[in-house]
């Protein structure tokens, strides 16, 4: 080994060691999320140093220092890593989902889980580039997905809590009398604005855009156009790129089946959706699988299959309209419409 190479290695080792030592001694000034993230990077940098991977140890130590000082850091930029083409699309998609999930509310309300998800993605990237410790790659990848799925559930719970708070506030507001409008006239006016002769109630059932409960728990009971039936609508959320039923969705479906006990006539419509990450054909199939998964769960709970109708909308007609390649949590869902 030449003297120049030895000198360069010594300089690199010294620089990386210096960054790690600074991180070990730093007095954090960031918020709770940033401090937790800095601690994740510290442990990882120490582990990399123990394996004599001075370059990556220094890289994550410097990232930890910035976070400890209150500077926001991003998930690893994939173009700066030597990732094989076969692995790149999955990591790109995962990065987009991570960024869309780690908003300010998530970091503030759930700093531990948010920091863990951020670190695990970076761990997955670094281990994928090295490609020699498959168990480490699998661990970081699976733990990342598991943590991100947990963040989706936490976000769902946060939305529900906000809705409950809003409902309590509305109950304390004095009601103001509104002049009664003739039912037939108002219905005619509303339906006259719809195109192709589709009634407002029919349009809502097909698109899922009206009276939808965004919290994924319970929607309001509303009358149809003739006020003869009651319609309840709920959103059931899924993890990204997944049609697996979550524990929260199972609880919602338990509520549905309990409500239907003793009801003689009813129909359940399931509208499957997907966000706009990935290919359109793939997302259409994914939305179908999600609707089918909910149908299967309902059948297992005693609902006759002939009472259930499913539709797949893919990414084309989402719950929320977005640009392409946008990871929208509301569109990773199945809308259940219960008509009694």
Q: SS3 letters for 86-145?
A: CCHHHHHHHHHHHHHHCCHHHHHHCHHHHHHHHHHHHHHHHHHHHCCCHHHHHHHHHHHH
- Higher-confidence residue of 35 and 131: namely 35
Average pLDDT over residues 86-110: 91
Q: Which pair of tokens denotes residue 81? A: 């890593």
Alpha-carbon distance of 126 to 156, in angstroms, equals 31
Element (H, E) at 300: helix 280-300
β-strand 333-339 against 308-312: which pairing, if any?
Answer: unpaired
pLDDT tens-digit series, residues 148-187:
989 988 888 888 877 777 766 655 555 444 444 444 433 4
Mean pLDDT of the chain: 78
Q: What are phi and psi of 311, to 5 degrees?
A: -135, 145
Q: Which pair of tokens denotes residue 255? A: 């509520």
- Which of 55-59, 62-66, 169-173, 175-179 is least confident? 175-179
pLDDT at 185: 39
pLDDT tens-digit series, residues 5-30:
333 444 444 444 588 889 988 888 88
In contact, 269 and 233? CB cutoff 8 Å = no
Q: State the pLDDT confidence band at 216, using cuts at 50, 70 and 90.
A: very low
- Higher-confidence residue of 216 and 319: namely 319
Please tell me which of 37-41, 156-160, 233-237, 252-256 the model is most confident about, judged by mean pLDDT.
37-41
Three-class DSSP category at 63: helix
Q: State the pLDDT confidence band at 95, using cuts at 50, 70 and 90.
A: very high
What Cα–Cα distance (Å) separates residue 295 from each residue in 83, 208, 226? 39, 17, 28
Q: Which of 198, 206, 204, 196 is nearest to 223 (CA)?
A: 204
Q: Which of 330, 334, 329, 333 is nearest to 102 (CA)?
A: 329
In contact, 294 and 268? CB cutoff 8 Å = no
Q: What angle do CA 306, 307, 310 make, to 5 degrees?
A: 85
pLDDT at 283 over 70: yes
Residues in the chain: 340
């Amino acid at each position: 080994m030449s003297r120049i190479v030895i000198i360069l290695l010594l300089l690199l080792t010294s620089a990386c060691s210096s960054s790690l030592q600074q991180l070990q001694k730093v007095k954090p000034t960031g918020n709770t999320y940033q401090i937790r993230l800095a601690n994740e990077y510290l442990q990882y940098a120490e582990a990399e140093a123990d394996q004599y991977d001075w370059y990556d140890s220094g890289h994550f130590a410097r990232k930890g220092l910035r976070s400890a000082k209150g500077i926001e850091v991003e998930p690893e930029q994939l173009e700066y890593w030597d990732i094989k083409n076969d692995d790149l699309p999955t990591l790109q998609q995962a990065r987009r989902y991570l960024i869309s999930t780690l908003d300010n509310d998530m970091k503030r309300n759930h700093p531990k889980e948010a920091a863990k998800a951020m670190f695990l993605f970076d761990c997955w990237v670094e281990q994928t580039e090295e490609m020699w410790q498959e168990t480490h790659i699998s661990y970081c990848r699976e733990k990342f997905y598991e943590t991100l799925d947990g963040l989706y559930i936490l976000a769902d719970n946060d939305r529900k809590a906000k809705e409950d708070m809003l409902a309590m506030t509305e109950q304390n507001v004095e009601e103001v009398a509104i002049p009664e409008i003739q039912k037939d006239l108002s219905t005619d006016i509303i339906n006259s604005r719809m195109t192709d002769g589709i009634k407002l109630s029919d349009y809502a059932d097909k698109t899922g855009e009206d009276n939808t409960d965004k919290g994924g728990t319970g929607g309001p009971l509303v009358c149809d156009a003739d006020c003869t039936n009651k319609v309840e609508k709920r959103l059931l959320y899924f993890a990204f790129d997944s049609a697996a039923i979550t524990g929260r969705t199972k609880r919602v479906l338990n509520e549905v089946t309990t409500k239907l006990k003793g009801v003689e006539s009813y129909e359940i419509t399931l509208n499957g959706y997907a966000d706009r990450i990935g290919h359109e054909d793939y997302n259409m199939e994914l939305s179908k699988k999600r609707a089918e998964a909910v149908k299967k769960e309902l059948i297992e709970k005693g609902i006759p299959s002939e009472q259930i109708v499913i539709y797949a909308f893919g990414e084309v007609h989402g719950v929320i309209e977005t640009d392409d390649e946008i990871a929208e949590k509301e569109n990773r869902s199945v809308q259940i419409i219960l008509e009694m």
